[in-house]
Amino acid sequence: MKTSEIRPLKLANWKVSILLIFLLGVLVPVGLSPLKADQLRQNQAKPAPLKVKVATAHLGDQEETLDLPATVEAAQSTQLFARGNGYVEGYYADLGDQVRAGQLIARLQANELPARLSQAQADVVQAGADVHQAQSDVTRARAALLQGKAEVAKARADVDQWRADLKQRQHEADFARRSDGRWQKLLDDGAVSIQEADQRRSSLLTSNASVDSARQRIEAANAQVQASQARVHSLSSEVGAAQSRVDSAQARLEARRAQVDQVAAEIDHLNIRAPFTGIITERNLETGQLVEAGAKTPLFRLARQDRLRVFVDVPQSSAAEIHPGFIAYVYANGAKHTGQLVRTARALDPVTRTLRSEVHLKSSLALAPGMHVQVQLKVKRRAPVLVPTSSLLTRSDATLVATVQQGEVQLKPVTVGIDRGVEVEILDGLQAGQTVVATARDSLANGQKVETK
């Protein structure tokens, strides 16, 4: 081919290439523009992920230090009130004085009580005399009763004796009757004289009379038995009545003695004594002052200060770890004092959900009842899960923590423990290592896309 022919051909190819490039530059964008517009609209409709600051839930220390407010109290404290009415005769202990158990610290005066005591004692003497007289009556009645019983026994013995005699005389009378019958037959036969027969008849009559006499004596002895028995019955009743009088007199005597004891107790109540060794921390009486039983204001307040105690309320989250024997540190006015936890209530207060615990301390000049102190307890327990306090979401039905998993929010209900200020304990519902939203918003919802900072 000639050179002149080749040049037009190259020129034509170049022009075709330019034309194709132009067509691609125009037609391709025009054909793709609807797809790009649809993607743009979708991107504009989808909200951008919420940017949140996150934190990691982690385990706290196993040893927890509890700082709890408390008030120092005396180991034993009581108010002393009057138990009777009277005027203050004098007081023998004042504010701040050390007193011993049983020591007389005040005395009241009531003029009517000694007179009542004298009358009650006189009534006791009279009641004792009545008892003695009644006992004498019982003794006499019992002696008469014994005599009456002896008379009954003697009368019965007489009856037995006369019955035996009657039987003997009846035998003799029967013999005399048979003899008389034989002699009368002999008299009829003319074998004996009339005089001899009359003698036998006289013996029979004598024997019959003797029998009748014995019967009469038996009847008299029986009457004597009945009379003696009636007297014994009467004497028995008299003994019972006399014993009743003794019992009544004895009851009156006991009642009179009780009255004496009561008045004596009322007199003793006028003496105000210390129930235990301690210090007078309050005095509310003056000499000559009228004092009445049942008054609301105590005469004295007494406190035992050789040992001190404080009561602390341990939160529910640490209550299970608290037990007697714990060492407690009490801080007052910058000083540290060591005490020991001696007992707990073993039940939580249903209102505060706290465990009442008692700590004992040795007496110290730096501590006094009524002082406000801080009690420190070091408790070993299972390490709690800690999260920022700001991560909690409080809803009406539960407390929630927003966790982040694969860029999405998951709301988890949790049980909250001690609020430590910046962080809070989670007792249940969350594990250490989980990612949580550090500053939770009320608008957070399950499944919401987030972007962590």
Rounded mean pLDDT of 393-418?
A: 89
The CA dihedral of 367, 369, 373, 377, to the nearest 10 degrees, is: 90
Residue 284 sits at φ, ψ, to 5 deg, of -130, 45
Nearest to 441 by CA among 407, 402, 384: 402
* 371-385 residue pLDDT tens: 999 999 988 877 889
Q: Express as a percent the part of the chain with pLDDT over 90.
A: 31
Give CA–CA dist 162/218, Å, rounded.
6
**DSSP reduced 3-state for 397:** coil
The answer to whether the beta carbons of residues 373 and 309 sit under 8 Å apart is no
The CA dihedral of 321, 322, 327, 332, to the nearest 10 degrees, is: 120
Confidence of residue 19 (pLDDT cuts 50, 70, 90): low
Q: What share of the chain is helix, strand, coil (3-state, %, to 5)?
A: 45, 30, 25
Nearest to 72 by CA among 334, 375, 279, 354: 375
Q: Which residues pair with 328 in a beta bridge?
A: 339, 377
Which helix or strand (DSSP H or E) is residue 399 part of?
Answer: strand 399-405
* 334-374 residue pLDDT tens: 899 999 999 999 999 999 999 999 999 998 888 889 899 99
pLDDT value of position 25? 53
For 61, counting Cβ atoms within 10 Å of its Cβ (0-12 exposed, 13-18 middle, 19+ buried), the class is exposed
Give CA–CA dist 97/297, Å, rounded.
20
**DSSP reduced 3-state for 19:** helix
DSSP state of 448: -
Tokens standing for 6?
Answer: 């080749």
Cβ neighbours of residue 435 under 8 Å, at least 6 residues apart?
54, 55, 56, 57, 403, 404, 405, 452
DSSP state string for 414-445: -EEEEE-SSEEEEEES--TT-EEESS--TT--
Which region holds residue 286: left if phi is over 0, alpha if psi is between -120 and 50, else beta?
Answer: beta
Nearest to 328 by CA among 316, 344, 347, 352: 344
pTM: predicted TM-score of the whole model, two decimal places? 0.52
Give CA–CA dist 236/7, Å, rounded.
177
* 230-269 residue pLDDT tens: 888 887 888 888 888 888 888 888 998 999 898 888 888 8
Checking if the pLDDT of 3 tops 70, the result is no
Checking if the pLDDT of 1 tops 60, the result is no
